[in-house]
């Protein structure tokens, strides 16, 4: 059984945010909704300071707290390990949002779909067709672009990354690119102490 996961190479990430834009475009995300964010972190003491970019995304946890707390069964895990949300079952209780230690859930508000990308109140044809996939009042999150994965493609953020800072693949396959990176460069999971077993790793 495949276990799809992702590795972020912190040495390679330059903070260009191309992944963020590609994600918004691929998923037609409305104003204020991000499935991935590239966070910046300044550390060190002057004059020896550095800025590191830390991409974040839904970690598709093996022991997903969002799935456990969901009272309607809207959140579920596919056979390949991708955690999905069934928008027709979601009741909008936000319990998944408060249960996610990574703050990677977003509740869709009706207002998000009314302003439009240009703030004029008129939706472009791109927005009109893209917004059909969303239901206001429900919860959304990254699903590794499951529609692309099903078609044998990488998620949009991975395909777009100009520095190969995002590596996607099957973590159950010891010869896959992410598995090798995790093994060779001591990959670490975000907030392992939360016990969620993320399928996203960081190497630096």
Q: Which stretch binds other proteins (CB under 8 A): 30-38, 120-128, 143-151, 163-171?
A: 30-38
10 makes contact with other proteins (CB under 8 A) = yes
Select 2 or 69, whichever has its Cβ closest to other proteins.
Answer: 69
The site for other proteins, by CB under 8 A, has a size of: 54
Write out the binding residues for other proteins, residues 125-184 only, by CB under 8 A: 135-139
Number of C-beta neighbours around residue 125 at 10 A: 7
Identify the residue among 14, 39, 117, 153 touching other proteins (CB under 8 A).
39
Identify the residue among 11, 162, 191, 197 touching other proteins (CB under 8 A).
191
Shortest distance in whole angstroms from residue 186 CB to other proteins: 11
17 makes contact with other proteins (CB under 8 A) = yes
Select 148 or 185, whichever has its Cβ closest to other proteins.
Answer: 185
DSSP 8-state secondary structure symbol assigned to residue 111: G
38 makes contact with other proteins (CB under 8 A) = yes
Identify the residue among 11, 128, 183, 188 touching other proteins (CB under 8 A).
188
Write out the binding residues for other proteins, residues 67-106 only, by CB under 8 A: 67-74, 89-95, 97-103, 105
Q: Which stretch binds other proteins (CB under 8 A): 48-56, 117-125, 155-163, 172-180?
A: 48-56
Q: How far apart are the first and last CA of the chain?
A: 28
Shortest distance in whole angstroms from residue 15 CB to other proteins: 9
Here the tokens at position 181 are: 């990176």
3 state SS for the chain: CCCEEEEEECCCCCCCCHHHHHHHHHHCCCCCCCCEEEEEEEEEECCEEEEEEEEEECCCCCCCHHHHHCCCCCEEECCCCCEEECCCCCCCCCHHHHHCCCCCCEECCHHHHCCCCCCCCCCCHHHHHHHCCCCCCCEECCCCCHHHHHCCCCCHHHHHCCCCCEEEEECCCCCCHHHHHHHHCCCECCCHHHCCCCCEEEEC
Are the C-beta atoms of 23 and 36 separated by less than 8 Å?
yes
Which residues are at the interface with other proteins (CB under 8 A)?
A: 10, 17, 32, 37-41, 43, 52, 54, 56, 65, 67-74, 89-95, 97-103, 105, 107-108, 135-139, 188-196, 202, 204
């Amino acid at each position: 059984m495949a276990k799809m996961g992702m590795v972020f190479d912190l040495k390679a990430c330059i903070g260009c945010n191309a992944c963020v834009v590609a994600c918004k475009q691929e998923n037609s995300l409305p104003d204020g909704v991000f499935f991935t964010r590239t966070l910046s972190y300044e550390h060190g003491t002057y004059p020896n300071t550095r800025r590191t970019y830390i991409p974040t995304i839904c970690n598709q946890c093996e022991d997903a707290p969002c799935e456990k707390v969901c009272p309607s069964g809207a959140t579920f895990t596919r056979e390949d390990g991708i955690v999905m949300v069934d928008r027709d079952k979601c009741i909008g209780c936000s319990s998944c949002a408060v249960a996610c230690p990574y703050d990677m859930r977003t509740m869709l508000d009706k207002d998000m779909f009314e302003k439009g990308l240009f703030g004029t109140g008129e939706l472009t044809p791109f927005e009109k067709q893209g917004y059909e996939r969303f239901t206001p009042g429900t919860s959304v999150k990254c699903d590794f672009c499951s529609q692309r994965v099903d078609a044998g493609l990488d998620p949009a953020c991975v395909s777009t990354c100009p520095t190969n800072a995002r590596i996607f693949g099957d973590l159950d396959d010891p010869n896959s690119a992410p598995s090798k990176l995790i093994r060779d460069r001591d990959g670490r999971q975000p907030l392992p102490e939360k016990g969620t077993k993320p399928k996203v790793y960081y190497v630096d």
